[in-house]
Amino acid sequence: MTPPHYFCTIASLSDALRVGKVSSLQLMREVIARTREVEPRVGAFNSFDEEDALAQASASDLRRAEGRTLGLLDGIPIGLKDVIAVEGQPLTASSRMLANFVSPYDATVTRKLKAAGAICWGRLNLDEFAMGSSTENSAFKPTYNPYNLECVPGGSSGGSAAALAAGCAIATLGSDTGGSIRQPASFCNVVGLKPTYGLVSRYGLVAFASSLDQIGPMTRTLEDAAIVLGAIAGHDRNDSTSYPAQVPDYRSAMTAIRGPWRIGIPREYFGEGLDPEVESAVQSAIAHYRKLGCEIRTVSLPHTQYGIAAYYIIATAECSSNLARFDGVRYGHRSIEAKDVNELYFKSRAEGFGQEVKRRIVLGTYVLSSGYYDAYYLRAQKVRALIRNDFLAAYRDVDAILTPVAPTPAFRHGAKKDPLELYLSDIYTIGVNLAGLPAVSIPCGFTSAGLPMGMQLVGQPFREAELLAIGRAYEREHPWAERHPSL
């Protein structure tokens, strides 16, 4: 049975658009209708501009009629996390601080998507300023998991994952600081790719932790991830951390790369706290690779246990610095209760930021303060180097590393009230950000309760094509993403 267009892949829709089986305007109307139908229950969008999206679709159809098609993404609706700037559209970071802010320019990834003909569709909900693992910390509303509306979609890119899973976009972009693409992808049965740090420009991304943040695609398949990555990757002089890496045709490259591969299984990632059903699903994936002739090797990442502590020192320190600009003076929320300049700073920030953001600002300010910098921040950076070296040492013996994405499937809304419990949701993902490596979450099954689970493949720096090829060897025979939610 052919799925509705809003559940189709970029690759299949691009073919259908090319031969005239569907128009971009028809596709966009179907996506809008689907969004209107399910959005009241899912809560994936902060806003969407139907008129603008339909105008973009009409422009795509006109280009196609004139023989000026811009490529595989031309006419495809792609949702953007509401921390990625789109000129003339709201840019709120799901915070009261930016509730009324409209972006005056495009992020580099937005500009590249537009150049490829993609329809930039909607502003997707997230944990405020990307600080969270459940999309319960949004200042506007929570987002719900399309596979079970009582559960969270993950975070912080929960809106991006939920919108895609629910059929409200054909692909989405998220940002990943400690697992914020991969964990919600795992919870919502979609593919989530965190590229190598520096491969995709951060210009126009509302900064959380600048040395950790990375924009990446969320898609239905690895082939679609390759298509979107090819469109958004590349050097950008507007981003001082952008790396001048060669950008191949990832879609062609991933099909040309053949195994078998050497796959590492880190002993530190399979222990206490790992849900039995998640472990069973990941072990089944390992068995599949063994059946394909891959060499499965146990590896050690001995500094894993220090990852959470190091991450929440470095990330909060950078958050404290980045969010200092929101002061009630230049832009953002400005308190009307302030009687002098000191009250203006205090009240504007107290009113504009939510509890989790305040918590991280306070932590970050503390670890950067005089007398504590060496004891906390400098030591955390040294641990970061050790974690990166662990991965690089393992890659002397293996081509990629396979792990769970999260210790559990999606949990119920309100189930994790203790912030430390939520922080531990990222235990398998933050090491990748600290090391600056590429990693992808791939659907690998469902629990007995019908909740999705994902596995994580971690690759070597700037070898995304190989990472996608390794993942594709599993995905070809396990098309879990074709199981859509029954909203």
321 classed as catalytic: no
- Taking the C-alpha atoms of residue 130 and residue 396, their distance in angstroms, rounded to an integer, is 34
Burial 162-176 (b: 16+ CB within 10 A, else e): bbbbbbbbbbbbbbb
The residues with which 123 forms a beta bridge, in sequence order, are 47, 80
* Residue in 132, 224, 140, 233 with CA at minimum distance from that of residue 184: 132
109 near 200, Cβ under 8 Å?
yes
How many residues are recorded in the chain?
A: 487
Count of CB atoms situated within 10 Å of the CB of 4: 12
Outline where DSSP puts E strands in 22-76: 45-47
Which of these is catalytic: 12, 156, 160, 242?
156
**Strands 262-266 and 295-299, sheet pairing:** parallel
Burial 394-417 (b: 16+ CB within 10 A, else e): bbeebbbbbbbbbbbbbbebeebe
- Taking the C-alpha atoms of residue 100 and residue 440, their distance in angstroms, rounded to an integer, is 34
- Taking the C-alpha atoms of residue 5 and residue 440, their distance in angstroms, rounded to an integer, is 25
* Residue in 419, 317, 328 with CA at minimum distance from that of residue 373: 317
Which of these is catalytic: 12, 81, 347, 441?
81
Tokens matching residue 89: 């559209």
112 classed as catalytic: no
156 classed as catalytic: yes
- Taking the C-alpha atoms of residue 193 and residue 485, their distance in angstroms, rounded to an integer, is 21
Tokens matching residue 183: 């964990």
- Taking the C-alpha atoms of residue 204 and residue 105, their distance in angstroms, rounded to an integer, is 8
Give Cβ neighbours of residue 92 (< 8 Å, ≥ 6 apart): 46, 82, 98, 99, 101, 123, 140
- Taking the C-alpha atoms of residue 434 and residue 438, their distance in angstroms, rounded to an integer, is 11
**Strands 119-124 and 45-47, sheet pairing:** antiparallel
158 near 416, Cβ under 8 Å?
no
Which of these is catalytic: 180, 186, 320, 441?
180
SS3 content of the chain, % helix, strand, coil (to 5): 45, 15, 40
Looking up tokens 């180097």 gives 385
Give catalytic residue positions. Answer: 81, 156, 180
